[in-house]
Amino acid sequence: MRIGNDLLDELMKGRSARDLLGKDGVLAELTKALAERAPSVELDDHLTEERALPPAEGASQAANRRDGSSQKTITTDSGKVALDLPRDCDGSRDPVLIAKYKRRCPVFDTKIIEVLPDNRTRC
């Protein structure tokens, strides 16, 4: 999947390369937004799958559900990013994108930079 040029043009409108790729620039905001959104979708999928399964023998009838969020700071190639990651009540979800206890995530920067068209934001 590619991010459309219209969306990218809107993000880049009136911004310098520093505004886009600097420490608190659009790239940092996108990294944070993607890093928080992906685990939320993972949790939604996990909870949907659990509801589709028959209850285990001897298990309580209370369905697993969201239970707020916890803060986690990860380190990307662009620096540290503070995240609010969703939790489930019984802790049965095993996150894929940002694994439990994992703090170093250099892949975010690489994946985001790959979708920028024509290297338009080079410094």
* Residues 94, 42: Cα–Cα separation, whole Å: 9
pTM passes above 0.75: no
Per-residue pLDDT of the chain (123 residues; tens, 9 = 90+): 678 899 889 988 998 888 888 878 888 888 888 888 988 988 998 899 888 887 766 666 677 889 899 999 988 777 788 999 999 988 888 887 787 888 887 665 555 455 445 544 433
- Per-residue model confidence (pLDDT) at position 83: 92
Q: What pLDDT sits at residue 27?
A: 82
Would you say 81 and 32 are in contact if contact means Cβ atoms under 8 Å apart? yes
Direct distance between the N- and C-terminal alpha carbons of the chain, in angstroms, rounded to an integer = 25
Nearest alpha-carbon partner for 105 in 75, 81, 78, 84? 75
